Amino acid sequence: MTDVTPFLWFDGDAEEAVRYYVSVLPGSQVTGISYYGPGMPYPEGSVMTVTFTLAGHPYTALNGGPEYAFTEAISLAISAEDQAEVDRLWDALTEGGGTPGPCGWLKDRWGLSWQVVPNELPELLSDPNPLRSAAAAQAMLSMSKLDIAAMRAAADAAEAAPAGSPAGS
Residues of each domain in the chain carrying CATH 3.10.180.10: 75-160
Distance from chain centroid for Cα 159:
31
> Please, which pLDDT band fits residue 166 given cuts at 50, 70 and 90?
low
For the 7-63 domain, the top CATH level (class) is alpha beta
d(CA 105, CA 76): 9
SS3 content of the chain, % helix, strand, coil (to 5): 30, 25, 45
Q: What pLDDT sits at residue 161?
A: 75
pTM tops 0.85, yes or no? yes
Confidence at residue 165, expressed as pLDDT on a 0 to 100 scale: 58
Whether residue 100 is predicted with pLDDT greater than 80 in this model: the reply is yes
| Paired strand residues for 63 | 10
Domain 75-160 carries which CATH code? Answer: 3.10.180.10
pLDDT at residue 153 tops 80: yes
Q: Where in the chain is the domain with CATH 3.30.720.100?
A: 7-63
CA 84 to the chain's CA centroid: 16
Asked if pLDDT for residue 164 goes beyond 80, the answer is no
pLDDT band at 163 (very low <50, low <70, confident <90, very high): low
